[in-house]
Amino acid sequence: VELTLLHEKLSEAWALALAGVTVTERLRQRLADPGLASELARMQREARETHARCHGVASALGVELEDELRAKAQRTRDKAADMLLTWLKPGTDDLAAWTFLVMAEAAEVAAWRVVVRLAEDAEDERFLGLATWALPIQERHLETALEGCTRLAELPADVVNA
Ligand SMILES: [Fe+2]
C-alpha cells in the first residue's frame, strides 16, 4: 500500500504518543517530586489516549493501511526509545533527563501541527478531528514540560537526586 504524506505524518505523531508513554514512565521512576509525578501521570494517561485514538483512526482505513501505519509508528517509536536510552546514560542529571521530555513534547506539537495542516488540505474530517483534539493537549504538555524545568531548578538537590 502507498502511504500519503498525511498517513506518514499521522504515524509519526502516533509514534511520539507511544514514546511519550515510555518517557513519562522513565521520568516518574527517577523523580521524587510529587507535583512533577502527578503531571507525568496525567501526560502519560493522555499519551495512552492519543495512542488509542490514532489506532481508532488508522483502523477505519482498512486492515492493510492500519497494519502499515502501526508498523511505521512502532519503528519510529523504537528509534525514539533508543534515543532515550542514550540520553539517560549513567551520569545524566534529572534536569538533563527532563529536557528529553521537553524535546519530545515539542516534537509532538510539531507533528500535530503538520497533521492539522495536511488534513485541512486533504479535507479529511477524521484526521482533522483527531489532530485538532490532540494539538492543544500537546501544547499544554509542552508548557508543563517547560514549567517542570523551572520546578526542578528550584528543588533542593536531595529531592532532585532522591
Ligand atoms: Fe505529550
d(CA 56, ligand 1 centre) in Å: 18
Report the pLDDT value the prediction gives residue 90, as an integer from 0 to 100: 80
Ligand 1 centroid, distance to 52 Cα (angstroms): 14
How does 19-54 read in b/e, with b if 16+ C-beta sit within 10 Å? Answer: bbbbbbebbbeebebeebeebbeebbebbeebbebb
User: What's the pLDDT at 160?
Assistant: 53
Model pLDDT for residues 49-64, shown as the tens digit of each residue: 999 999 999 999 999 9
Q: What is the mean pLDDT of each run of 10 residues along the chain (162 residues)?
A: 93 97 94 91 98 97 95 95 91 92 97 98 97 98 96 75 50
Residue 141 CA to ligand 1 centre (angstroms) = 5
